Amino acid sequence: MTLTLDDLSTRWPATARIVNAVTSIWPEHARYAGKSFAARDAAMMQTTETLAEAALVLTGEHLLRYAEHYRWTCDQLREEELFFHREGRYRLSTFAEADAEVYSDAGYMEKYMDGLLISQILWVNHAASCHFFLTETSPFLAPDQRYLEIGPGHGLMMYLALRDFDLASATAWGLSAVSIDQTRAALAKLGYDNCDFAVQNVMDARAGSKPYGLVVLSEVLEHLEDPKSVMAPIRDLVARDGHVFINVPINSPSPDHLYLMETPDDARALLIDTGFEILREGFFATQGTALERALRNRVSVSACMLARPV
Amino acid sequence: MMRTMDRASIYESLNEIFADVLDLDDVDLTDNITANDIEEWDSLSHIRLVVSIEREYSFKFSNAEIEALTSVGDLVDHILAKAA
């Protein structure tokens, strides 16, 4: 049965609150939202609702501000989308450019991160990626695993892992003190204040005596100029019987996306070329578009892959 | 060779562009058709439609024009004005 926006408030109240906040300041977005939720089954809606409940904890009393920032973020993305389809490439190609335009601009970053938080609920490809992470990863995890997430952003993926996986410990690495402090604060708000956080560049990391059972990079690698050079040292961080989960977008222009992947094989190569075997994969296109059609029309696709070192 | 530029010829090429970009089998556009009438015509596919039209007619829409293009009639009017 197709889910409509009217169904949301009775069955999925947290999701409905977020949708209502967005459509109250952006009524034209109701059509997009309706199509996005119509593409989800009940199991994915349960994951969506979990994400929405967490997002509401993070937004607190400022939900409308987040909704406004979501609209602002969509405006930025539309500009990038226009450039991408006109020129056939992402607008920026170096980390220095992204740092100058995005990362070093605190005001821009606040709005952008707020907008991306709301997108985790409203965009079916984002919610589907979280759903894949929850459902496809856990069967491969032995109990009592050490978890490492690199570039945890809002901390939502880490929250899902802490909530649903049997973990011995959870560690988050970020490139800046500001971003890692934001993740720490978010997870504390969500009830998890027993994680380890560090400002750590993966390229400088050493495996040490205790590798990790699950290493997660969700929407991180596309922000790098040469993501394969990062995946190689990550292989040394993963236990011999451990796993890595990555989530990367294909044909997905964004203000700070640098590394363009145009096909599922481009995404798979990040793992296959760096010493991993892919065990599970899922490709989720914007608005539930069929994959073949999405690739033909260069519509954004989220690629989720669970792999083990070989 | 000079390209014929009247509403009929523009409709002919727009029918092909909409079919190709939106993956539709049969398109028969008229002035009053808006995004509300075609499920596949959303804010994202709108960008791809605009870029395909730009390529077909060798001009660029401004951002304000892209926002203002809400019906097929608007598209045809803008193409005629830009190509004049």
Q: Report ipTM for this prediction.
A: 0.88
- Looking at beta carbons, which residues of chain B come within 8 Å of A78? 43, 47
Parent domain of A303: 134-309
Residue B37 lies inside a defined structural domain of this protein: yes
Which of A122, A149, A171 marks a domain boundary?
Answer: A122
Mutate to test the interface with A, among B40, B44, B70 (most CBs of A within 10 A): B44
The dihedrals phi and psi of A165, each to the nearest 5 degrees, come to -100, 155
Query: CATH number, domain at A199?
Result: 3.40.50.150
Indicate the residue of B39, B47, B54 with minimum beta-carbon distance to A81: B47
A194: closest CA among A218, A158, A228?
A158
Which of A98, A122, A146 marks a domain boundary?
Answer: A122
Contact A73, A112 (CB under 8 A): yes
Q: Counting Cβ atoms within 10 Å, is residue A175 exposed (0-12), middle (13-18) or buried (19+)?
A: middle
- Tell me, yes or no, whether A114 and A225 share the same domain: no
Bridge partners, A118 (sequence order): none
- Tell me, yes or no, whether A177 and A70 share the same domain: no
Residue A22 lies inside a defined structural domain of this protein: yes
Verify whether the Cβ–Cβ distance B51 to A287 is below 8 Å: no
Number of domains in chain A: 2
HSE, CB side, 13 Å, CA atoms: give it for residue A292: 1
Which of A122, A155, A179 marks a domain boundary?
Answer: A122
CA-angle at A119, arms to A78 and A220, nearest 5°: 85
Q: Counting Cβ atoms within 10 Å, is residue A302 exposed (0-12), middle (13-18) or buried (19+)?
A: buried
From first to last of the 84 residues of chain B, give the pLDDT tens digit. 556 688 899 999 999 999 999 888 888 999 999 988 998 898 889 999 999 999 999 999 998 899 888 899 999 999 999 877
A118: closest CA among A68, A43, A46?
A68
Residue A259 lies inside a defined structural domain of this protein: yes
pLDDT digits (tens, 9 = 90+) for A180-236: 999 999 999 999 999 999 998 888 877 666 899 999 999 999 999 999 999 989 999
Query: CATH number, domain at B71?
Result: 1.10.1200.10
CA distance A284 to chain B (A): 16
**Smallest CA–CA distance from A298 into chain B, residue:** B48
Largest CA-CA distance found in chain B, in angstroms, rounded: 37
Residue A248 lies inside a defined structural domain of this protein: yes
Order the strands of the A145-150 sheet from edge to edge.
A196-199, A167-174, A145-150, A212-218, A238-250, A301-309, A276-285
Verify whether the Cβ–Cβ distance B63 to A286 is below 8 Å: no
Instruction: Return the pLDDT at A199.
Output: 93
Instruction: Return the pLDDT at A209.
Output: 63
- Tell me, yes or no, whether A99 and A189 share the same domain: no
Q: For chain B, what's the residue count?
A: 84
Mutate to test the interface with B, among A22, A74, A81 (most CBs of B within 10 A): A81
- Tell me, yes or no, whether A152 and A75 share the same domain: no
- Tell me, yes or no, whether A199 and A289 share the same domain: yes
Task: Copy the structure tokens of residue A252.
Answer: 């997905």
**Smallest CA–CA distance from A32 into chain B, residue:** B42
Residue A127 lies inside a defined structural domain of this protein: no
pLDDT digits (tens, 9 = 90+) for A124-168: 999 999 999 999 999 999 999 999 999 999 999 999 999 999 999
- Tell me, yes or no, whether A113 and A154 share the same domain: no
Residue A129 lies inside a defined structural domain of this protein: no
**A286 vs B: CB within 8 A:** yes
A153: closest CA among A90, A109, A101?
A109
HSE, CB side, 13 Å, CA atoms: give it for residue A122: 25
Reduced DSSP (H G I as helix, E B as strand, rest coil) percent helix, strand, coil of chain B, to 5 = 60, 0, 35
Entry pTM: 0.93
Task: Copy the structure tokens of residue B44.
Answer: 């994202």
- Classify A307 as helix, strand or coil: strand
Task: Copy the structure tokens of residue A236.
Answer: 């040394």
Parent domain of B20: 7-83
Contact A39, A25 (CB under 8 A): no
- Tell me, yes or no, whether A144 and A288 share the same domain: yes
Number of domains in chain B: 1
Residue A266 lies inside a defined structural domain of this protein: yes
pLDDT digits (tens, 9 = 90+) for A232-271: 899 999 999 999 999 999 999 999 999 999 999 999 999 9
d(CA A123, CA A128): 9
| Range A11-19 average pLDDT | 96
Q: What is the DSSP string of A212-227?
A: EEEEEEES-GGGSS-H
Residue B27 lies inside a defined structural domain of this protein: yes
Residue B1 lies inside a defined structural domain of this protein: no
d(CA A80, CA A93): 13
Residue A153 lies inside a defined structural domain of this protein: yes
**Smallest CA–CA distance from A296 into chain B, residue:** B21
